[in-house]
Each structure stands twice: as structure tokens, then as C-alpha cells.
Amino acid sequence: MPTSGFLHQQASHCESGVMSAILRHYGLPLSEPMAFGLSSALAFAYLPFIKLSGLPLVSYRMPPKAILRGLQKPLGFAMHTETFRAPEKGAARLNALLDAGQVVGLQASVFWLPFIPPDFRFHFNAHNLLAYGRDATDGDYLISDPVLEAAVRCPAADLTKARFARGVLAPKGLLYYPANPPREPDWKSVLPAALKKTTRIMLHTPLPFIGVRGMRWLARAIERLPAATDAQATKLYIGHLVRMQEEIGTGGGGFRFMYAAFLEEAALLAQRPTLAELAAELADIGDHWREFALAAARMIRDRDPLDPARLAQQLREQATREQTFFVALAKAARG
């Protein structure tokens, strides 16, 4: 049974975890926070016109595949990607790659993966995981899902179903692996470029629902929730925010802690001590996101009165903090 000498390692987020593991396997040890930060994956987006079960899409990072794509340029490699129309072809191609000893990144729907705890199995199509082998006798795949503690096995029919789920962000059987080995970059040039891109997204996107402006826009929407007339809907809405922030594999605090870890690493690699100070500031901001989550959860369970205005206020304070932070980060990136 070929396992390609692959070692499972737990991460906090699926896409950055997969990229960290796949790059390590193909010769470049790169931490999860570095994969996340170097691809400028941190963001904030409030997209009220995209609904998930009737609730607006709120995200604390760039869209799926941003990390996969964003690492190619700084690390000087190309990610080979394939999608398929027919599930049989997608399964056959994956088998051929695994039999040749490749470690392959996959996109799949969380809902159809039997090894994910039942309470987490919602129809989220942009989950990422790695396949590193196949059992020749029963056809089970050997899977490394970065959000799990250990590697798992998955029956072939289940994995194929998950890879070809339909709907928003349908994976279409996406599989990927590096076409050439990644190489260690010149940190002093790639890191400032990555930082600059993130500060631009957070501060200067010309759309009112992205970055710190998006937080303020969301604060206004929270204020308008019908707490008095429809407590149930209000609670579902704020619970949804907390799930997007904490539950969807963000490493806590809507990716802010992970990005802070990236800044610490960047401070050493680019020899910019200011970045380590900024890392501490961002970790504090992450703590405030956790407080926001706690306040919302207490309201959901009626331990505190349901008061959307208070949450909106907390969110506006976060917007102010992040604005100050990203202005300072932009300055530090310029050197």
C-alpha cells in the first residue's frame, strides 16, 4: 500500500493546512500561518446578497482557492489543477495519481464526508483535504484532513460523492498537486508585498462590504435585526456570525490569531521587529473577537438580554481597532 511517506499534521484551517502539508511533502517546510499570510488570505467580507440557508455570507478570509493560487508566485511553483465533469473519470484520475505515489489535494463538500462529526456536516462545498494513498484491497482512501487530529480512511463511494457535490462553490472533483517543486523565496521582498496586499484589501477595497467598511456595514445590519418581534430569527443570525468566525476552522478569532502568528514569523524572516509588536496588537484584537462571540452566545442562551445594538457597538469598536492596526501594518510593510 503506497503511502508516499506522508505524515499527517493537524492544522486549524482546511485550505492553509492542506497547502502547508502539501508543500512540506514536496520539499518546502512552510507553517500553516505562513501559508495563510504569504497568500494574503486575511480579509473581512459581508455579502448580504449571497445567502446560506437564508443568512448572509460573512467571511474573515479571502474566497476559497485564494491560498492555493496566492502561494504560486512567491514560492515559484505552479499548482496543477484538474476538474472533471464525470465522477467516474475524477475517481479514476485520483486513483492513478495515488497509485503513482502522489499526494493530492482535493476539494469536497463537508456534508458527505463520513469521518466529520455529524454536527459539522453542513453543505459547505469548499472544504479541502489531502489523499495520500489507497487501500488496494477494499479501495478505501487514506485521507489527511487537516482539521482532524489523526489521518482517517474514507470509503471510495463517499469521497466521490463529496467531491462531486453540486451547488454553490461546487468542487467539480477538483484535485491539485504542485507541477514543480516550490522553492524558498527571498523573504525580504515577498513578505512586504503580501502584507501590502492585505492592508489594501482591509482598508482600500472600493466596495462598502469588504474590509473594515464591511464590518461597519454589518454592524448596521445587526442593529436592524428584529430582536423584539422575532427573537428566533435574530438569534439564528448572530449565531451564524459566531459560527463563521470561530467554528469554520479559523484558528480562533476569525483568523486573527493565525495571522498574528504569521506576523511573528515574518518579523524574524524579514528582520522587521515592528511586525512582532503588531502581532501582539492583532492577538489583542483577536481576543476582542472572542468576546464578541461570547456575548452573542450568551444572548442566544438567554443568559443576557438579547440586545443586537450592543453587538453592533462591539463590532464598530472592532472596525476602529482594525483600521488603526492595518494603517500601522501598511506603514511597517513600507519599511
Partner 1 sequence: MNIDDVPQEGNRTHPGQRKSIYARTTNGRLGLVASSGWEVEEIVTRQAVEAFEALADAARKKARRGESSPLEYHMYRARMDLALLAQASGLWRWRVRRHLKLRDFARLSPALRQRYADALGIAADQLATLD
Using CB under 8 A, pick the residue from 11, 38, 154, 222 that binds partner 1.
11
Site for partner 1 in 122-181 (CB under 8 A): 122-123, 147-149, 161, 165-168
Site for partner 1 in 299-318 (CB under 8 A): 300-301
Residue among 80 and 166 whose Cβ is closer to partner 1: 166
Site for partner 1 in 65-124 (CB under 8 A): 111-112, 117, 119-123
Asked whether 160 and 90 are in contact (CB, 8 A), the reply is yes
Minimum CB separation from partner 1 for residue 286, in Å? Answer: 7
Residue among 73 and 288 whose Cβ is closer to partner 1: 288
Residue among 178 and 249 whose Cβ is closer to partner 1: 249
Q: Which residues contact 275 (CB under 8 A, 6 or more apart)?
A: 195, 263, 264, 266, 267, 332
Beta bridge partners of 79: 178
Residue among 102 and 125 whose Cβ is closer to partner 1: 125
Residue among 197 and 288 whose Cβ is closer to partner 1: 288
Q: Where on the phi/psi map is residue 184: left (φ > 0), alpha (ψ -120 to 50), or beta?
A: beta
Cell numbers for 149: 487530529
Residue among 217 and 259 whose Cβ is closer to partner 1: 259
Does 56 sit near partner 1 (CB under 8 A)? no
Q: How far apart are CA 79 and CA 111, in angstroms?
A: 26
What string marks each residue from 186 to 205 as x (binds partner 1 by CB under 8 A) or -? --------------------
Residue among 55 and 203 whose Cβ is closer to partner 1: 55
Site for partner 1 in 205-264 (CB under 8 A): 235-236, 239-240, 242-243, 246-247, 249, 251-253, 257-258, 260-261, 264
Residue among 138 and 149 whose Cβ is closer to partner 1: 149
Using CB under 8 A, pick the residue from 10, 81, 95, 323 that binds partner 1.
10
Asked whether 3 and 142 are in contact (CB, 8 A), the reply is yes
The torsion angles phi and psi of 106, rounded to 5 degrees, stand at -135, 150
Using CB under 8 A, pick the residue from 153, 197, 290, 310 that binds partner 1.
290
Whose CA is closest to 227, among 219, 216, 218, 235? 235
Minimum CB separation from partner 1 for residue 123, in Å? Answer: 6
Using CB under 8 A, pick the residue from 50, 207, 294, 309 that binds partner 1.
294
What string marks each residue from 28 to 47 as x (binds partner 1 by CB under 8 A) or -? ----xx--------------
Query: Which positions lie near partner 1, rule CB under 8 A?
Result: 10-12, 32-33, 51, 53-54, 111-112, 117, 119-123, 147-149, 161, 165-168, 235-236, 239-240, 242-243, 246-247, 249, 251-253, 257-258, 260-261, 264, 279, 283, 286-287, 290, 293-294, 296-297, 300-301
